[in-house]
Structure 1
């Protein structure tokens, strides 16, 4: 049986940042979804397994052939497709043999791969790349096609163990569906790092990576969240019981100390009145002091034990705080015109007519390369339209895919101050606290923040900007966010009272933010009806 066995794994980055200390785990047959907050070490663990990183201590043993698709796949644009697929030598050897060259080296290269052409075409067809010639260059492919090509290369290697790191990022819905089918039919060991709920619904178990340890939950993401909710409910009950026990033990300790003080005063009074011989009274006082010490220590021990139970109960309750947003200045009255696109032609040739009114929430969907980002940048004025007119009636801000809104050399406080120059330092700090950036974290340089912190700082900078944005344009906002950050983004958008245009392939996320209109960009911007089926044909 193929498996990944990890024993005593230690790993830290050169700056001393701890990731793993003595990790022991086994990843066996079936599909495992690996989740955890940004910065918890999910991608790092896959890189360690793949051999891209070297552990400081411990062992990683992989039984069987290993395949690995990294999160940000970068391929040389000059390489040919057959090079990426790893079939150049086999194809050349077969061609030489067919031309009459019987050199044994050619047969050694081919081995049992005489059907390489058929297998390659079948794999490319399976991933929607049937139209791609193996002699084309990578630079001729779209970003989504490059990801699918990378997956095809791994499948052709016939690995027993496959590691996928955010395989659906930046893929349109059609391409995502092809990845889903590949995952659904996988028979070996498969480990997936992803925040894609649809993908995580296909796994057999969830591995929750937290503070350098992995806890496993049977079932898919829905089963995991149900189990986690029940687990947290029990942990919170235990916390409340532990808090009550600590209060009771503190009361009993105070009562014991009061009782001992009363006895001490009574004994001193008896000694002063000399009602008994001094030797007997001194012996009685010594016995009383010993008994009092034991009595006091008993209650102190009970309090210490109660405090230990409280600490254990607190550790069992996750502190995944929620973002709190209250931004009345972003509100847009019903029916007020927010944005109008009149016979606009985008740079890629797509056409768009659009009228946005009031606090509408618009989902913008379409295939990779359809021009969704181009449309958003045209609305903002970053790209002039080829033809037509764009009229923006309210202040607008946008969240780009790369979250590069922040100046990495400034703190979160200074980034917000730059966007909201009239706000006082105290006001900015109070507002950042609502985005879970408090104290020293708010003063850290943006370039040193974790992924989740950087996301929240970016969101705060956008939403707290002056003038208050009454239109938000979001471009694939859930890419590279962990599940907690996706939930926090949903909370923020639920509290936002302005208009929204969200370009995304993440259908579960779009369904959670109260979308009022679904628009598809496919040569022309058209409105679609998501109620035609249980799952929109996007």
Structure 2
């Protein structure tokens, strides 16, 4: 735990969703100055904890105390597209008052609005420049910027406010490589209190300490994420060693209990033999029998207690070993023979200006990475291929069953349970079959009946992926749009493992280069300047 004075204190914190799903029960945690990376498996409550600290949610019990103003960047950033940029940044009123004063209107209320913030425009433009948004005019509307730029705009608004505490929930979601570098720089320069939830290793390597949220409790590790992984590996090695010791001890206690039972049985037979032969007076023999029974009882209880103690030590040792569940996805009927025509694009012009000149063919089980800056049109292209958007001109011909998983994960109906959502895509499947398949996506028992609206980001991704994978017919062309945005690192590894077994064609739009590299990408397409072109990986700094 940090030795700095605490700035955030959560005492006896309890919270549950309206359907009764418990998230925290008597959580105790405090955060001090510096940058803290809050990690944990999907569904452990990381985003919920940030919302409780920010005041977005109210705890069922306990208290949250924060020293100073809180700035909060949520996982899903939504800005009114009709707002001017200066309004989104929170400086519109100050700018207007300043411009009025400069125009000769010396009304007192203008001076009250400006206060001491006479350099508001210079400070605003400097902040935008540091985040790579220097090209955005303050009088433009938010609707004119890309999704990644809107995330950085929201961050710029927080930085301009200069809050005492900054909470960031998956801030690199939807950011291209260039925008991520800007965000890393802003995080690295932050001097106040920061708590950041992220699956981005590069970002987490900028923090000062790691808070690991697991089973409703927080464990602290000094240093960045790389140091945390090393410490965790040492812990797990020791925990696994303790399991082996405890298992050996339990086997020993079981053997000793069996030996004790054999010894007691032998004594009992000998005592009965003496009784039958009546070699001693009846009163003496009865006394010996009672004494032997008491002694045998104590002997048996002693060994049973030793066995129970050994079992308890084994259970404790097993609990200390992390056994995070893994997604086990089998993808039936997805195989595509080499050379088979999967997708054809002909002289395609998309909405918002992007285009594919000439023809483009995807054949066989190819794995294509689709990259480009925020706003280049990657999502528009995938939505057009999937049939969600109409092309302005040209043709899209999909020759196999196709499924598209959008980054918004809006294929789920929030009012339905996970089971009911999957049933929409596979109406012919029985309830038992759906539940059996959902168990492979870690939705077991009551989890499968949870409403989609109450799912965490990672759980929502798993539910959406399950709905597509269990759909009928099974997809032979799978398109994923920023699939790692809401996944913890364990889930990214699980998704990678699942996609390794997928035998169909794959198109993945992502800014997560290590993830793309792990998929065995065969071709890389860059969408830039409105044109789609195939490139070598080194052209964009793609890892070799």
Q: 1:530 and 2:540 equivalent?
A: no
Q: Is the 8 A contact 1:30 1:187 kept in 2?
A: yes
Cα distance, 1:432 vs. partner? 3.8
Deviations along 1:295-342, one digit per CA (max 9) or x if unpaired, are 112111111111211221222122322233444632222233222212
In 2, the alpha carbon distance for the partners of 1:315 and 1:230 equals 16
In 2, the alpha carbon distance for the partners of 1:492 and 1:250 equals 41
Cα distance, 1:222 vs. partner? 3.1
* 1:494 corresponds to which of 484, 495, 500: 500
SS of the residue 1:265 aligns to: helix
In 1, the alpha carbon distance for the partners of 2:176 and 2:76 equals 16
Match of 1:471 in 2: 477
Cα distance, 1:101 vs. partner? 6.3
Cα distance, 1:519 vs. partner? 0.8
Q: Is the 8 A contact 1:77 1:139 kept in 2?
A: yes
Match of 1:150 in 2: 154
* Cα distance change, pair 133–460 in 1 and its aligned pair in 2 (3 A): closer
SS of the residue 1:401 aligns to: coil
Cα distance, 1:453 vs. partner? 4.4
TM-score, scaled to structure 1: 0.90
Match of 2:233 in 1: 229
* Cα distance change, pair 122–303 in 1 and its aligned pair in 2 (3 A): same
* 1:289-368 aligned within 5 A: 289-327=293-331, 329-352=333-356, 353-368=359-374
In 1, the alpha carbon distance for the partners of 2:96 and 2:431 equals 67
In 2, the alpha carbon distance for the partners of 1:51 and 1:443 equals 28
Match of 2:521 in 1: 515
Match of 2:85 in 1: 81
In 2, the alpha carbon distance for the partners of 1:387 and 1:133 equals 32
Q: 1:183 and 2:187 equivalent?
A: yes
Match of 1:43 in 2: 47
Cα distance, 1:154 vs. partner? 0.9
Q: 1:198 and 2:202 equivalent?
A: yes
Root-mean-square deviation over aligned CA pairs? 2.9
Q: Using the TM superposition, name which of 123-132 and 459-468 deviates more.
A: 459-468
In 2, the alpha carbon distance for the partners of 1:342 and 1:152 equals 41
* Cα distance change, pair 426–8 in 1 and its aligned pair in 2 (3 A): closer
Q: Which runs of 5+ in 1 are unaligned?
A: none
Match of 1:52 in 2: 56
Cα distance, 1:41 vs. partner? 1.5
TM-score, scaled to structure 2: 0.89
Cα distance, 1:363 vs. partner? 0.6
Cα distance, 1:355 vs. partner? 1.8
In 1, the alpha carbon distance for the partners of 2:236 and 2:500 equals 24
Aligned pair count reads 537
Cα distance, 1:152 vs. partner? 1.0
Cα distance, 1:369 vs. partner? 2.3
Q: Is the 8 A contact 1:232 1:317 kept in 2?
A: yes
SS of the residue 2:87 aligns to: helix
Q: Is the 8 A contact 2:458 2:486 kept in 1?
A: no
* Cα distance change, pair 278–450 in 1 and its aligned pair in 2 (3 A): farther
Q: Is the 8 A contact 1:19 1:212 kept in 2?
A: yes
Cα distance, 1:22 vs. partner? 2.6
In 1, the alpha carbon distance for the partners of 2:339 and 2:154 equals 47
* Cα distance change, pair 233–86 in 1 and its aligned pair in 2 (3 A): same
